[in-house]
């Protein structure tokens, strides 16, 4: 008997209380105590002890006792009060603890599985407990007409005291007590197959039920008891079962009387079977559901007319019809493959499990099956899918529902936000089963803890091992498929996971100036580097064709130096986050201060000669460029525009401009300075050098410098500020270059000039030409012409 109320009241407070003799107290909280000291028993079994102490304080103690059974109410059963503040606690369970109503079936099936596990364990030492009870199984029968769901197991069952202890005390787990007793008995050991760890799983039934009836028969007792409770009630009833038709041999039967809103959803047999397959598919005991089935049978046709009947003389025709019937169907046919020894499982079994579990049609590229022991113990099977997600929403989405978390073979959740896998590995699919995960009370949310971090670290490591096995295969087609599908994910990992750079970098693949058709790894690049080369060179563009024709490559290709082509938007950011690979720095060849290792010293005469040209060109371009200098990277192009060492490259500037929420202020800041490099060996530069010396004020020379800058802007990957203005300059230069080249006659030139002059005159006078509508133009033979 647990105390329901205990406190100290002032005398004035006690004086305000009215005696309860002769009337029924509504509850323990509203019961009253008489004046003076002594003991008074109220009609509902509430006993008040009033003791006067010093001063004006009166100590009152109220003990809640079991209500005494009136005579003649034997059939109604005994009524008990919950040993908790039920109204608030039940409200928390029903409205706050669980996020989905459907989990009630998972909880009840898990409890049934525990009951079967307990019986199997106890039956090892006492075989009489297993006698005459049938197979260890769970059966679920929905009834849409009655609006009920009945869940029956042939487990250990409960006695009357166990009913009061387990179902009458909310948040008390009978499974936890059972495990504790086993651990204390060292001779028996502990059974890790038990699922329940919190005592609120049973009460999830009230998520969908307005009334719950539990009928249970323990092999330790000759009597069968019925527990009954209504939602939002503070009490429950326990009575002895007397109906012979409802007697159980052994085990527990739970009947849920569904709410009207949930009746048509959860009393549907197909819905029940789907929930079992989702949450309890790998429970170690068979689960049968009551399903409607169909079969074809042959029946005799209806009676025919007498004339036909006499002609056939006893020959009766038969027809085939489809007949519907109800029967039990096994819902958890798939066995948990991760619980078996990997050496005993064929690849075809792994592939079949993958397709069935994740609704895939292609075989996975690779799989890994492992068991982790030590600080954290769990089993897992992970897969690399055969193709990338078809939906763009699933790409780079941490909530892809690709990892299914189980606790003791019961499905917990597949909705994670980076707890078990980082975002860049969200394409990996698989199952994780642990016996001791830190879950919350409702077993839906994975709590952030040291155990979860250890699990995440080991899952990521095993995933890298699996991908590396694909990369190391002699048949490179598998890794080619992997890279086409999931290469972007690996590059994203280089940005987000700095701790795993050493494992991510060898998995990267790129086109290069020496391998335009095939992709190469960074290891292959480093192995083919000459000893004098101290860096890994790359160029970032928007396409492979742009990379191959970029002017920055000219001197490097001439010196047989390999350059990586970064042609995807994420490539440049990934490489910049890596910074180095095997002590070799990554160098962008489109930026200033490019060092190739064997630069020749320029003569003083060359420096003096082109220093004057550089100053003159800088004067013409003004603030468009930071400086003009002689280039070390050009061999055939006249000039190139390179970005500053610490600013954005042309490719990065293009990407940032394309951002929907791009910040123009940061764009101007990060764009940095641009450097105009010229090739002193090119004829155009030599002509400009002569113009600088002989005619520095020439209008044609200045226009040539501006056009040269605009052309360098485009060839270097930048976007001109005014494309139309650039087009006009090109047309003008073409007219000068092509004028009269192919012998255009003087008469045509005169007509052309006359036409231009008349067009200018018309436009200056503002005259408008008469426009004749097509309907007004009529031929000579038109009969309606004169009308």
Question: Residues forming the annotated binding site?
Answer: 107, 111, 153, 158, 173-174, 197-202, 252, 443
Cβ–Cβ < 8 Å for 194, 156: no
What is the rounded CA–CA span in Å between residue 87 and residue 85? 6
Element (H, E) at 429: strand 429-434
Look up tokens 């297993």; give the residue: 130
Q: Which of 568, 570, 572, 508 shows the shortest CA–CA distance to 543?
A: 568
Per DSSP, helices labelled H in 280-401 are 306-312, 347-358
What is the rounded CA–CA span in Å between residue 384 and residue 376? 24
What is the rounded CA–CA span in Å between residue 503 and residue 354? 26
Written as six digits, the tokens of 305 are 């007319």
3-state secondary structure of 333: coil
How crowded is residue 782: how many other Cβ atoms within 10 Å of its Cβ? 10
Tell me what percent of the chain is helix, strand and coil, each rounded to the nearest 5. 40, 20, 40
What is the rounded CA–CA span in Å between residue 149 and residue 424? 43
Q: Which of 546, 642, 630 shows the shortest CA–CA distance to 588?
A: 642
Which residues are CB-contacts of 181 (< 8 A; sequence separation ≥ 6)? Answer: none
Task: Point out the annotated binding site for ATP.
Answer: 107, 111, 153, 158, 173-174, 197-202, 252, 443
3-state secondary structure of 215: strand
Written as six digits, the tokens of 233 are 């009630």
Sheet with 287-300: strands ordered across: 78-81, 235-240, 224-230, 209-217, 251-258, 148-153, 138-143, 287-300, 318-330
Look up tokens 């690849």; give the residue: 347
What is the rounded CA–CA span in Å between residue 97 and residue 740? 88
Cβ–Cβ < 8 Å for 407, 486: no
At 178, give phi and psi (nearest 5°).
-65, -45
Residue 84 C-alpha from the chain's centroid: 39
3-state secondary structure of 699: helix
How crowded is residue 592: how many other Cβ atoms within 10 Å of its Cβ? 19
Q: Where are the beta strands (DSSP E) in 644-718?
A: 674-678
What is the rounded CA–CA span in Å between residue 538 and residue 512? 8
Q: Which of 690, 677, 699 shows the shortest CA–CA distance to 629?
A: 677
How crowded is residue 403: how many other Cβ atoms within 10 Å of its Cβ? 22
Written as six digits, the tokens of 295 are 């079969």
Cβ–Cβ < 8 Å for 493, 504: yes
How crowded is residue 530: how many other Cβ atoms within 10 Å of its Cβ? 10
Neighbour-count burial for 735-751, b at 16+ CB within 10 Å, e otherwise: eeeeeeeeeeeeeeeee
């Amino acid at each position: 008997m647990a105390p329901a109320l205990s406190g100290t009241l002032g005398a004035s407070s006690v004086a305000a209380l009215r005696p309860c003799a002769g009337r029924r107290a509504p509850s323990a909280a509203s019961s009253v105590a008489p004046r003076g000291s002594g003991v008074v028993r109220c009609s509902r079994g509430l006993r008040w002890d009033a003791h006067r102490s010093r001063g004006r304080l009166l100590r009152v103690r109220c003990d809640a006792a079991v209500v005494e059974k009136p005579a003649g109410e034997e059939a109604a059963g005994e009524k008990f009060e919950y040993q908790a503040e039920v109204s608030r606690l039940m409200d928390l369970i029903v409205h706050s603890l669980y996020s989905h109503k459907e989990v009630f079936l998972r909880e009840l099936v898990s409890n049934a599985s525990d009951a079967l596990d307990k019986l199997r364990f106890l039956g090892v030492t006492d075989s009489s407990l297993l006698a005459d009870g049938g197979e260890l199984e769970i059966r679920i029968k929905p009834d849409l007409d009655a609006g009920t769901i009945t869940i029956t197991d042939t487990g250990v069952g409960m006695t009357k005291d166990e009913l009061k202890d387990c179902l009458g005390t909310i948040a008390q787990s009978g499974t936890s007590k059972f495990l504790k007793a086993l651990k204390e008995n060292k001779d028996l050991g502990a059974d890790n197959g038990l699922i329940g760890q919190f005592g609120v799983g049973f009460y999830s039934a009230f998520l969908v039920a307005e009334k719950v009836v539990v009928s249970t028969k323990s092999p330790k007792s000759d009597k069968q008891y019925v527990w009954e409770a209504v939602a939002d009630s503070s009490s429950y009833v326990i009575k002895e079962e007397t109906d012979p038709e409802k007697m159980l041999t052994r085990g527990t039967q739970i009947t849920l009387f569904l709410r009207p809103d949930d009746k048509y959803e959860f009393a549907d047999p197909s819905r029940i079977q789907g929930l079992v397959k989702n949450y309890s598919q790998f429970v170690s005991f068979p689960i049968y559901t009551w399903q409607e089935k169909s079969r074809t049978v042959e029946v005799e046709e209806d009676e025919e007319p007498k004339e036909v009947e006499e002609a056939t003389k006893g020959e009766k025709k038969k027809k085939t019809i489809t007949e519907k019937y109800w029967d039990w169907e096994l819902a958890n046919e798939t066995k948990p493959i991760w619980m078996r020894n990997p050496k005993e499982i064929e690849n075809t079994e792994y592939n079949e499990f993958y397709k069935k579990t994740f609704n895939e049609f292609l075989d996975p590229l690779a799989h890994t099956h492992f068991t982790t022991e030590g600080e954290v113990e769990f089993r897992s099977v992970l897969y690399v899918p055969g193709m990338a997600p078809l939906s763009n929403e699933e790409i780079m989405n941490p909530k892809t529902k690709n990892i299914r978390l189980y606790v003791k073979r019961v499905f917990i959740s597949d909705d994670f936000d980076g707890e078990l896998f980082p975002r860049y590995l969200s394409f990996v699919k698989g199952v994780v089963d642990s016996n001791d995960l830190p879950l919350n009370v409702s077993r839906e949310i994975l709590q952030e803890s040291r155990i979860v971090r250890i699990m995440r670290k080991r899952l990521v490591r095993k995933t890298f091992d699996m991908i590396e096995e694909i990369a190391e295969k002699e048949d490179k087609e598998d890794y080619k498929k992997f890279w086409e599908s999931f290469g972007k994910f690996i590059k994203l990992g280089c940005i987000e996971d700095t701790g795993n750079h050493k494992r991510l970098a060898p998995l990267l693949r790129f086109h290069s100036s020496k391998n335009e058709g095939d992709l190469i790894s960074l290891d292959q690049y480093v192995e083919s580097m000459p000893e004098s080369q101290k860096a890994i060179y790359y160029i970032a563009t928007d396409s492979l064709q742009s990379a191959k024709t970029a002017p920055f490559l000219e001197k490097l290709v001439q010196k047989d130096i390999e350059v990586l082509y970064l042609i995807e938007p994420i490539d440049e950011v990934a490489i910049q986050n890596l910074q180095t690979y095997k002590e070799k720095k990554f160098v962008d060849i489109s930026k200033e201060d490019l060092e190739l290792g064997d630069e020749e010293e320029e003569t003083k005469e060359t420096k003096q000669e082109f220093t004057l040209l550089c100053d003159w060109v800088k004067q013409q371009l003004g603030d468009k460029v930071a400086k003009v200098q002689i280039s070390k990277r050009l061999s055939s192009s006249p000039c190139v525009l390179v970005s500053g060492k610490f600013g954005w490259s042309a490719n990065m500037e293009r990407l940032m401009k394309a951002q929907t929420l791009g910040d123009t202020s940061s764009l101007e800041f990060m764009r940095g300075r641009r450097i105009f490099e010229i090739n002193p060996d090119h004829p155009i530069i030599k002509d400009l050098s002569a113009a600088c010396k002989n005619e520095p004020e020439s209008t044609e020379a200045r226009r040539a410098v501006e056009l040269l800058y605009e052309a360098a802007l485009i060839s270097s990957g930048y976007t001109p500020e005014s494309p139309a203005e650039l087009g006009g300059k090109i047309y003008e230069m073409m007219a000068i270059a092509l004028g009269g080249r192919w012998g255009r006659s003087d008469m045509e030139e005169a007509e052309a000039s006359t036409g231009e002059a008349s067009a200018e005159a018309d436009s200056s006078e503002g005259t408008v030409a008469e426009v004749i509508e097509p309907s007004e133009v009529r031929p000579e033979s038109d009969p309606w012409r004169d009308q």
